[in-house]
Structure 1
Amino acid sequence: MGSLFEGDAPRPLADRLRPQALEDVVGQEHLVGPDGALRQMLETGRLTSLILWGGPGCGKTTIARLVAERSGLAFEPLSAVFSGVADLRKVFDRAKDRRAAGQGTVLFVDEIHRFNKAQQDGFLPYVEDGTVVLIGATTENPSFELNAALLSRARVFTLNRLDAEALERMLARAEALEERPLPVTAEARRAMLAMADGDGRYLLNMVEALYGMGTTTPMDAQQLAKAVQRRMPVYDKSAESHYNLMSALHKSLRGSDCDAALYWLGRMLAGGEDPLYVARRLVRFAYEDVGLADPAACQQALAAWDTYERLGSPEGELALAQAVIYLATAPKSNAAYTAYKAAIRAAKETGSLMPPKHILNAPTKLMKDLGYSKGYAYDHDAEDGFSGQNYFPDEMARLPLYEPVERGFERELRKRQDYFANLRAKRRKAERE
């Protein structure tokens, strides 16, 4: 029960502007709009347990509360950061009592991914028997962070990052509530939307801070930056964003989009990513996606790694940027990567076939008697430095593993491959004749 004066206590702007109906939620029309999946679920009366996955400040808590109200269920909020097993037991006990009285319960667990696997398993019997409808909120990919058993009993809804249009609607609501325009120029207003980075709560906190300053002269973008501290980009080196941005960098490099690759590099470094991790991935890219189309690519990547280790930040980051530019603009080939994978696959399929005896050394008399090294042709003794002998196992047909592309240096390697293939064919023809 609240205190006598609770209604007079100041409430943050974000709380005062919290939507009172699902129709008022901005930026999530795919869920709560007329044809939204969540709206359809509520209108048909088939509410199931849910996992709401989205970034901070996109409306997960608000949607959970409104779903409970629309369904006529009691709302029990918990934070996985501050709650433990004892708190869960109390909630389950209250939910059992309500169920006996004919009322259901929505258990809302914020940051549900912070519960360990055993704690997540603890929800299962209460979800299965209908004691609670579980709504979990998470900023992390549920596929990685939540138990498969729990996921199989819940629908996952992905919430959008709030775009500029949704954030602008929130600004308009704040101005209507305050009955005065924000004291910022049009340019500064756009800067506020960018600084919010898709987080509606952060935007409203900025708005509240600006109103609290009591200024009436509109601030420009520079004055705004001084008045409101810029937030760091949302980036967790141990979570999905780490892999998403690395994937974006890798695929931008593969797609030869130098500008996009530099952007994703900047995003990773600005978010606090370990530059040496980036350096290692650039070396891998050089071998996997550039390969022998430009043999200098791996040298550039290794040099950038070495340079960063010697100079550190921020000077060494320029070396990483240079490597990104080189790799993005280099001709691409995964022929060596593909050849290696094919060789591994063939090795597993063919088992323990012996090399042909003529290419085996014969250090003992017994091995010579068995025919080891007999008939071996020393390539340097051949007129053109090429014997054309078979080096695959006798029981195995020749496999064409390496197929150079017609790009960069590999065009020259293809010519060499074709040259040796022609010589090999001539040797075989001569042997038959």
Structure 2
Amino acid sequence: MKKNLSVPTKVAICLGAFSLCTDAARADFINDSHATIDARNMYMNRDFHNSGSLGPMRDWGQGFTLRLNSGFTEGVVGFGVDAIAQMGIRLDAGQRGSTTNLLVLDSDGKAENEWSEAGATAKMRFGKSQLSVGSLQPSLPVVMYNDTRLLATRYTGAMFTSKDIDNLNLTFGQLSKVNLRDSTDNKNMAYAYNGLSAGDFDFAGGSYNFTKDLAVSYYYGRLEEAYSQNFLGLTHAVEVSPGVKILTDLRYFHSDDEGRAVGGVIDNDFLNGMVTLDAKGHGISAGWQKLSGDGNFPFLAGADPYSVNLVTHNTFAKQNTKAWQLRYTYNFSAMGVPGLTFMTRYVQGRSIEVGNVSDGHEWERDMDIAYVIQSGPLKDLSLRWRNVSFRSGNGLTTDLDENRVILGYQIALW
């Protein structure tokens, strides 16, 4: 693994960027700035059931993410800079070649003792529009960065956002490199299912709010030499009685091949959606999807697929997957216990096509209990326990049970 600069050196470089503004504009640049440290301690225990070569995998680590965000210089066009520095520390590790993706592994498959990285973003503001160039973490239907381990995925590129037209949010840009959640290197963009290097990723689109409760969106994404994708979405909320709402979330993708599909061609349609009844702390949801056509549902390496059936372990995005979900949540603040929440869900997929399997099936059951301390010296400290059971049929993949324990805390520096 390549030698990294020490974290203090990287932080000093990031802080030094704030001196780039002129003296006349420094007030807004500094006074509107803020800095935070996100601390995340995470333990993962993954137990495989039908694999003779994969034993239990138990990894434990501590992650720190420092974010520095400046304001903008004064004037019609304002300039600023953001910076991010990340560090991970191995607290314990299981066998070599672990597949938890929690820790960074060296060339021999052994977990590193510590690793660090940093990135910076130059930004320019004009009216309600902003251009950002450098380290990015977009959260869009065609590219959603992953933040489910110690450190989050980062991309390198340029992104333009605009809110100058009332009720309309526009976004477009290009990504050229990816830094994965368990890596310190910037890599070429790639298709998630085969990891083959591809060209740049271009994206564009936006969302429009007809009312505060009804919004539609369209986005386009194209990974050069891999795939192209169109997305349509609709979200709606209606209050049927005091304290009772029905929430609807519908999503549709059409994806085409650009030369690097796995096992053939990408030409598929992916319709998925969820309806939720939200009533006085209770949430009852029903979700459904139909993936039809050729190939798996494509998405970027380092990103998550934008699907209601993206759950703790599985994506339910293999070729021809039809799936349904039942989900229940409860917020204990309705019982006078603020900060305590509970979630459980069950997803079942069928008709899956992988290799020689033409009617595969798989299911996942998740349970999530979280508590955020509301007062005292440990205020805002969060504790979360995630439990997963995943099973597959027809030799699709490996069955497992998994537990994750996560402690999180954010420190505002200024």
TM-score (normalizing by structure 1): 0.20
Query: Which structure shows the bigger proportion of residues in strand conformation?
Result: 2
Query: Which structure shows the bigger proportion of residues in helix conformation?
Result: 1
